[in-house]
Amino acid sequence: MQKLAVPAEPAELPAMISRNPLPSDQMTLQSDKGKWLMPFIEQIADTLLDEPLEYMFADHFRQRVVLTMLQHFAEEASARRADADSIATFLTHDLVLHYADEEEDLFPFVRLRALPEDELGALLTHLGEDHHRNKAMVEVITSALMQHPAEKAVHLSANICSLIQAYVVSENQHLTVENGVLLAIARIRLTPKDRKTISQGMKIRRGVIH
């Protein structure tokens, strides 16, 4: 049987709101050594929750920004306190919400609507295992980033740097599969009612509606 042809990812990312505390024409924060500019973690507008699949796609972009920053931390074996706090906040709040969006809303609906030829059963199981494994790594990484909060910089051990790099590789691969396969098929299979239910769950999770 012919496999389902999935559409390409959106050409443009949905609009996001910057958390940038600097002037609008200064879009990066410079590290202490002046050798690297930290990209911003954008905040997604709540209005995009009405389009839950596009919200998740935008969230994946934010995660890739975080992974770029983590890779830099591992290469330098250190991070500015403000940068470490920014990443720790994302990992303990934003990423937790995103995983819940997928595990509690997206995965069940895709599993319900997928056709046999989509061959998503094993893939969804694998993605869930990715979440479980990555959550364990994130817990250790976050603990390392939050150590010695009064100091201006966080110094990372060789073991933590290796763990960060393993997490970056794992999560990048995970995001590639979710964007290229899962979300692509979800855009075809999920009904308008499915999307509305997912949207409501995401809004409740974020306190947008009660």
pLDDT in tens, 15-29: 454 433 333 333 344
Residue 83 lies in a domain: yes
For residues 102 and 209, the model is more confident at 102
pLDDT tens digits for range 150-201: 889 999 999 999 999 999 999 999 999 999 999 999 999 999 999 999 999 9
Single-letter residue type at 61: F
Is residue 193 in a domain?
A: yes
CA distance 97 to 105: 11
Domain that holds residue 184: 47-205
Give the total number of structural domains in the chain.
1
Q: What is the CATH number of the domain that holds 191?
A: 1.20.120.520
Predicted TM-score (pTM) of the model is 0.82
Residues whose CB falls within 8 Å of the CB of residue 72, separated by 6 or more in sequence, listed in order = 36, 38, 79
